[in-house]
Chain A
């Protein structure tokens, strides 16, 4: 409980730090600076969620600040509405703009995405600056302040309360969101979108949600900014502002929510200090920033927050309540007596290359089938066809007598096919338990709103109990709370198996599960797979370790150059001349 007390102390200090600026101890000038830091950290926070968690970088966040600021500005000047009504209006406009821009840009892959945001960021900046109804080049003036009854929030101290209230609420909401079922899905987007899809995450939708969430944070900042500055000019929402926000996120640390706060603080204070120090040479401040940005990338790529966070008290691991586990509601019993998985002349071509050449075989109920073949035989491509990552060029793939070759990976996951990956795809920063819980994604229903408001705790307890039990089965209960990136390769493979089990699959696809495992671990894995089969699960395994496969599989299918060259019992395959030739080369 020492950790808990330390955290209370840290929390107490934080509250104290927030209250002090309300007293005359802090000069008004610094309070104004704190307001600017609060405003910037809202936008930077959105960028942290988008970049650090979702893996998407935006050079256009300032545009959303602008959308909100101009919306409330326009409504409260030209149309004379109350500034308070400006907030919902600003958020609606920002949200709609984000939906429209996100729907286009979030489809972009790789580095096209940040470039896309750069493009519309510039377009929107020019539109702001050239639209007469937004004040054009000269800008918009005379925006009324916020009022509470007869009291105007004009002085920095009163506005400070409002801004930092918004910051604290946004931080809490973001922390809650990231620690939830949808949050875990977001964090898998960055490097593991395929894994996320294999467990039922609708990645396109998840990306859009992250994008809109980040835009709304910028929108709140824009509304607050408009009624604080009370004049608007397009230059506040241009390329320079975008670069500042990115700088803040990178300097603070794009991997943690508090990085946004720290980054905004450092950049804004530094800007001010540099202005004082350099005076007439104020233009040199950007030189310092530019060099700083490159330096941080070279020497501490995760920003400054990780250097500080080691001083903070550790968080206590979440408690697991084994009783909360939902017992597996039996999957719908087989609707037919046929095989569980059937491939009928499945074919996949890439240009002229035939990767999978009219392959047919079945996997029966509670049967273990091994798929072997030399490197490049098409085994992984075949896995991708079954799980919907790639679409077969021709032929049929059916699961429980229903054709699945046109289904998305998410729909295939929901039918009860789970997989592991040849190249481990875990989220290294998340704990082992959280990684495994991603496998139970389709078992939960809580969305963004219930995550932000913490209405999802009962469901979360169930998911984690479920995940913990699967971890116990693979023998990794002890490692539950370690970051997945700290495990050995063999352990990571077992985590992937546990994650797949979390889906309670009817068919388990394992891509080289024994690679990198020690002898004892292999034995344990073989024992687990036999147990699973005993419980009625069907297993299709790709593996190079022949001893492992021979002792485990009921049947073996051999691929070579995309073609099935043999199929049979392990003892038949062992002596099959075609197989021996494929593996060892021809015998003259």
Chain B
């Protein structure tokens, strides 16, 4: 009995880890950035949703304005300004955040229903990704994986502080997405859990369609396989980076919406959950989506059983498992250095 309850728990957690893992793999293969802030998107989304439900305008709306402006100004200094460029950037960096900000401040006091809250949350969090890419990572496009990882640490620290400023040190729990309960073979499964697993599956299918069936998706795969080659056939690498970061922040926001009702989320909760998603992504070798999902389910199960055994040591178990897996991975990786 307990066994199956733990399994269900593990799979539900695994679904969240799988979303995070997919976001991480996606960003890594296209841009080579190991995106530690992936978990922050999750916290931000969960807390933004909770703020909506309490009738407050979340700080993330202001953050969107600020990051949009910063990205605009910095790009203005760096790029060759053409009319078309200006039109596009004014729309994406200034108009979009302004509209979102106005929309949020107007709607929040009216207490809109859950669906609108969720849409607003996703719309607030998703654009953060591309702005951050342009501010922090695009100038480092040619840098090594290690340099990018350190930059990612920098972005992560900064965002975590902002999380504290916006949401304070308290944790929040959002209203459940569904209050239904099912019972199958004596195990109670909540509607919330079912939604979590179902939404994760839908996102995975959508991503598969994107990468397998659309030109943009194929272009991004080309960048992932060979950056120089992709550039030579005319795929703009930076644009692929922006799109990838947008997808990652969208996925992060979805996982935040899913987790907000089941787990108390603090401003820094995302770090640990992101890291666990990370473990899952690494089990998948940072390159394969199905393996990352399998890794996520494995980690979810491992954690659920480890927590039952000794809750103090559950993280130790999860992170220590990573080491033999890394070892196995790197033994299978080519031993010879690649030529630049």
Interface positions of A (Cβ within 8 A of B): 57, 104-105, 107-116, 118-120, 122-123, 126-127, 130, 191, 193-194, 239, 243, 246, 250, 283-284, 286-287, 289-294, 297-298, 301, 384, 389-390, 423
Let me know if B95 is at the binding interface, CB within 8 A.
Answer: no
- Which of B157, B282, B331, B336 touches A289 (beta carbons < 8 Å)? B157
On whether the beta carbons of B335 and A283 are closer than 8 Å, the reply is: no
In the assembled complex, the Cα of A389 lies from the Cα of B156 at a distance in Å of 39
Let me know if B296 is at the binding interface, CB within 8 A.
Answer: no
In the assembled complex, the Cα of A108 lies from the Cα of B326 at a distance in Å of 7
Since A57-B150, A286-B157 are in contact, a sample of 8 more A-B pairs with Cβ atoms closer than 8 Å, ordered by chain A residue number, is A111-B149, A112-B333, A115-B282, A118-B275, A119-B279, A119-B323, A289-B154, A294-B135
In the assembled complex, the Cα of A582 lies from the Cα of B29 at a distance in Å of 38
On whether the beta carbons of B331 and A297 are closer than 8 Å, the reply is: no
Residues of chain A contacted by B279 (CB below 8 angstroms)? 119
The minimal Cβ–Cβ distance linking B135 to chain A, given in whole angstroms, is 8
The minimal Cβ–Cβ distance linking A392 to chain B, given in whole angstroms, is 15
Residues of chain B contacted by A105 (CB below 8 angstroms)? 323, 326
Residues of chain A contacted by B164 (CB below 8 angstroms)? 283
Let me know if B139 is at the binding interface, CB within 8 A.
Answer: yes
In the assembled complex, the Cα of A118 lies from the Cα of B151 at a distance in Å of 15
Residues of chain A contacted by B336 (CB below 8 angstroms)? 194, 384, 389-390
The minimal Cβ–Cβ distance linking B28 to chain A, given in whole angstroms, is 9
Nearest residue, chain B, Cβ from A390: B336
On whether the beta carbons of B34 and A301 are closer than 8 Å, the reply is: no
Q: Which residues of B in the span 137-188 have a Cβ within 8 Å of any Cβ on A?
A: 139-140, 143, 145-147, 149-151, 153-162, 164-165
Nearest residue, chain A, Cβ from B333: A109
Q: Is the interface of B mostly helix, strand, loop or mixed?
A: helix
Say yes or no: A115-B34 contact (C-beta < 8 A), given A120-B323, A286-B158: yes
Residues of chain A contacted by B323 (CB below 8 angstroms)? 104-105, 116, 119-120
On whether the beta carbons of B143 and A122 are closer than 8 Å, the reply is: no
On whether the beta carbons of B327 and A194 are closer than 8 Å, the reply is: no
User: Counting chain A CB atoms within 10 Å of each CB, which of B160, B330, B339 scores highest?
Assistant: B330
In the assembled complex, the Cα of A293 lies from the Cα of B137 at a distance in Å of 12
Nearest residue, chain A, Cβ from B164: A283
Say yes or no: A122-B161 contact (C-beta < 8 A), given A107-B327, A293-B154, A297-B150: no
Q: Which residues of B in the span 282-340 have a Cβ within 8 Å of any Cβ on A?
A: 282, 286, 312-313, 315-316, 319-320, 322-323, 326-327, 329-331, 333, 335-337, 339-340
The minimal Cβ–Cβ distance linking B259 to chain A, given in whole angstroms, is 20
On whether the beta carbons of A293 and B153 are closer than 8 Å, the reply is: yes
In the assembled complex, the Cα of A461 lies from the Cα of B261 at a distance in Å of 70
Jot down 15 A-B pairs with beta carbons below 8 A, ordered by A.
Answer: A111-B146, A112-B329, A116-B322, A119-B320, A120-B319, A126-B313, A194-B337, A250-B150, A283-B161, A290-B153, A290-B154, A290-B156, A290-B157, A291-B158, A294-B135
Residues of chain A contacted by B155 (CB below 8 angstroms)? 290, 294
In the assembled complex, the Cα of A291 lies from the Cα of B278 at a distance in Å of 23
The minimal Cβ–Cβ distance linking A107 to chain B, given in whole angstroms, is 6
The minimal Cβ–Cβ distance linking A189 to chain B, given in whole angstroms, is 11
In the assembled complex, the Cα of A290 lies from the Cα of B160 at a distance in Å of 10
Residues of chain A contacted by B157 (CB below 8 angstroms)? 243, 286-287, 289-290, 293
On whether the beta carbons of A108 and B140 are closer than 8 Å, the reply is: no
On whether the beta carbons of A115 and B153 are closer than 8 Å, the reply is: no
On whether the beta carbons of B326 and A112 are closer than 8 Å, the reply is: yes
On whether the beta carbons of B161 and A294 are closer than 8 Å, the reply is: no
The minimal Cβ–Cβ distance linking B53 to chain A, given in whole angstroms, is 25
Let me know if B219 is at the binding interface, CB within 8 A.
Answer: no
The minimal Cβ–Cβ distance linking A104 to chain B, given in whole angstroms, is 6
In the assembled complex, the Cα of A510 lies from the Cα of B157 at a distance in Å of 49
Let me know if B136 is at the binding interface, CB within 8 A.
Answer: yes
The minimal Cβ–Cβ distance linking A404 to chain B, given in whole angstroms, is 18
The minimal Cβ–Cβ distance linking A496 to chain B, given in whole angstroms, is 15
Q: Which residues of B in the span 59-73 have a Cβ within 8 Å of any Cβ on A?
A: none
**What 5 A-B pairs are tightest by C-beta distance, nearest first?**
A290-B158, A293-B154, A290-B157, A119-B322, A294-B154
The minimal Cβ–Cβ distance linking A306 to chain B, given in whole angstroms, is 16
- Which of A57, A194, A290, A298 touches B161 (beta carbons < 8 Å)? A290
On whether the beta carbons of A246 and B319 are closer than 8 Å, the reply is: no
- Which of A115, A122, A126 touches B326 (beta carbons < 8 Å)? A115
Nearest residue, chain B, Cβ from A287: B161
In the assembled complex, the Cα of A120 lies from the Cα of B336 at a distance in Å of 26
On whether the beta carbons of A301 and B147 are closer than 8 Å, the reply is: yes
Say yes or no: A110-B320 contact (C-beta < 8 A), given A286-B157, A293-B151: no
In the assembled complex, the Cα of A105 lies from the Cα of B329 at a distance in Å of 12
In the assembled complex, the Cα of A182 lies from the Cα of B239 at a distance in Å of 45
The minimal Cβ–Cβ distance linking B319 to chain A, given in whole angstroms, is 4
- Which of A111, A292, A294, A297 touches B34 (beta carbons < 8 Å)? A111
On whether the beta carbons of A123 and B150 are closer than 8 Å, the reply is: no
Say yes or no: A297-B313 contact (C-beta < 8 A), given A109-B335, A116-B326, A286-B160: no
Residues of chain B contacted by A287 (CB below 8 angstroms)? 157-158, 161-162
Residues of chain B contacted by A108 (CB below 8 angstroms)? 326-327, 329-330
On whether the beta carbons of A286 and B161 are closer than 8 Å, the reply is: yes
Nearest residue, chain A, Cβ from B169: A283
Residues of chain B contacted by A115 (CB below 8 angstroms)? 34, 278, 282, 322, 326
On whether the beta carbons of A110 and B333 are closer than 8 Å, the reply is: yes
Residues of chain A contacted by B326 (CB below 8 angstroms)? 105, 108, 112, 115-116, 119
In the assembled complex, the Cα of A301 lies from the Cα of B337 at a distance in Å of 23
- Which of B140, B149, B156, B165 touches A114 (beta carbons < 8 Å)? B149
Residues of chain A contacted by B159 (CB below 8 angstroms)? 290
Nearest residue, chain A, Cβ from B324: A104
Say yes or no: A297-B154 contact (C-beta < 8 A), given A107-B327, A110-B145, A111-B145: yes
Residues of chain B contacted by A283 (CB below 8 angstroms)? 161, 164-165
- Which of B136, B275, B320, B339 touches A294 (beta carbons < 8 Å)? B136
Say yes or no: A107-B136 contact (C-beta < 8 A), given A283-B161, A290-B158, A301-B147: no
The minimal Cβ–Cβ distance linking B210 to chain A, given in whole angstroms, is 25
Residues of chain B contacted by A111 (CB below 8 angstroms)? 34, 145-146, 149, 286
In the assembled complex, the Cα of A122 lies from the Cα of B339 at a distance in Å of 33
Nearest residue, chain B, Cβ from A137: B312
- Which of A116, A122, A246, A289 touches B150 (beta carbons < 8 Å)? A246
Residues of chain B contacted by A297 (CB below 8 angstroms)? 140, 143, 147, 150-151, 154
Nearest residue, chain A, Cβ from B271: A239
Residues of chain B contacted by A110 (CB below 8 angstroms)? 145, 330, 333
Residues of chain B contacted by A290 (CB below 8 angstroms)? 153-159, 161
Residues of chain A contacted by B160 (CB below 8 angstroms)? 286
Residues of chain A contacted by B330 (CB below 8 angstroms)? 107-110, 112-113
In the assembled complex, the Cα of A384 lies from the Cα of B313 at a distance in Å of 47
Say yes or no: A107-B331 contact (C-beta < 8 A), given A116-B322, A286-B158: yes
Residues of chain A contacted by B286 (CB below 8 angstroms)? 111
The minimal Cβ–Cβ distance linking A217 to chain B, given in whole angstroms, is 20
Nearest residue, chain B, Cβ from A129: B312
- Which of A112, A246, A284, A389 touches B153 (beta carbons < 8 Å)? A246
In the assembled complex, the Cα of A239 lies from the Cα of B157 at a distance in Å of 11
The minimal Cβ–Cβ distance linking A494 to chain B, given in whole angstroms, is 20
The minimal Cβ–Cβ distance linking B87 to chain A, given in whole angstroms, is 27
The minimal Cβ–Cβ distance linking B67 to chain A, given in whole angstroms, is 12
The minimal Cβ–Cβ distance linking A561 to chain B, given in whole angstroms, is 21
In the assembled complex, the Cα of A384 lies from the Cα of B164 at a distance in Å of 54
In the assembled complex, the Cα of A284 lies from the Cα of B155 at a distance in Å of 13
Residues of chain A contacted by B322 (CB below 8 angstroms)? 115-116, 119
On whether the beta carbons of B319 and A122 are closer than 8 Å, the reply is: yes
In the assembled complex, the Cα of A122 lies from the Cα of B317 at a distance in Å of 11
Nearest residue, chain A, Cβ from B137: A294
Nearest residue, chain B, Cβ from A116: B326
On whether the beta carbons of B162 and A123 are closer than 8 Å, the reply is: no
The minimal Cβ–Cβ distance linking A292 to chain B, given in whole angstroms, is 8
